[in-house]
Amino acid sequence: MLSRGSRCIDVTGSWLRFDAGSVSFAIDLSCVSEIRRLPVACPLPNVAPWVAGITNLRGRILPVLDPALALGLGQMDLRNSGRRSRLVVVDSGSGPGTEAGLAVDRVRGVATGVEVLPPVDGLPPEMRRYCSGTLHVDDGLAALLDSGFLEGLKETAAVSA
């Protein structure tokens, strides 16, 4: 187990790897409910800049978040996103209305049985808040987002699905 404050990360777990804002990230696979093509998001007024809007996912209204912008890495151009862009539907699991979609540049796949290192130095403050470690995988490193990532973003944005 790797510990960061009161949060522990099971290093024997599985993580979904994705790119956002030219950085490779990983999130606990148990938080991911599905991966879809990036839909058109309906913009909302008076929300945090990294809330791209909302979309209808089989009758559920889902907030669409831009993790690159939320983590201080610059805004993703959702209107001109590439063929690899995806919506990663995640759930923080802390109750109803905790599901959201992350607009990502590319999904790289699932990593299992990899080494978890401490967070790298020099991360933007927004990233340091949610990065609990660094996954060491065959083709490089991925910033490991902790389980409070989605919950923290939704609290900051005051988004309720």
Show Cβ contacts of residue 89 under 8 Å, excluding neighbours closer than 6 positions: 32, 33, 34, 35, 36, 57, 62, 99, 100, 101, 102
Under 8 Å between Cβ of 67 and 80:
no
Q: Which residues contact 138 (CB under 8 A, 6 or more apart)?
A: none
Ordered by where they begin, the domains of the chain are 2-155 (2.40.50.180)
Predicted local distance difference test score (pLDDT) of residue 160: 43
- What Cα–Cα distance (Å) separates residue 72 from each residue in 42, 94, 95, 108? 23, 25, 27, 21
- The structure tokens listed for 124 are 């933007």
Quick check: 92 and 31 in contact, CB under 8 A? yes
Tokens 């403050």 -> residue? 125
Q: Which residues pair with 104 in a beta bridge?
A: 86
Q: What is the DSSP letter of 41?
A: -
Token code pair at residue 53: 């809007």
Report pLDDT for 2. Answer: 44
HSE-up of residue 98 (Cα within 13 Å, Cβ side): 15
Helix, strand or coil for residue 61?
strand
3-state DSSP assignment of residue 122: coil
Give the tokens for residue 61. Answer: 């209204």
pLDDT tens across the length of the chain (161 residues): 344 433 334 456 889 999 988 889 999 998 899 999 998 889 999 888 888 899 999 888 999 998 888 888 876 665 556 678 899 999 866 665 678 899 999 999 998 877 888 888 887 777 888 888 898 887 788 999 887 777 777 666 554 44
Instruction: Find, among 155, 115, 158, the residue nearest to 137 by Cα.
Output: 115
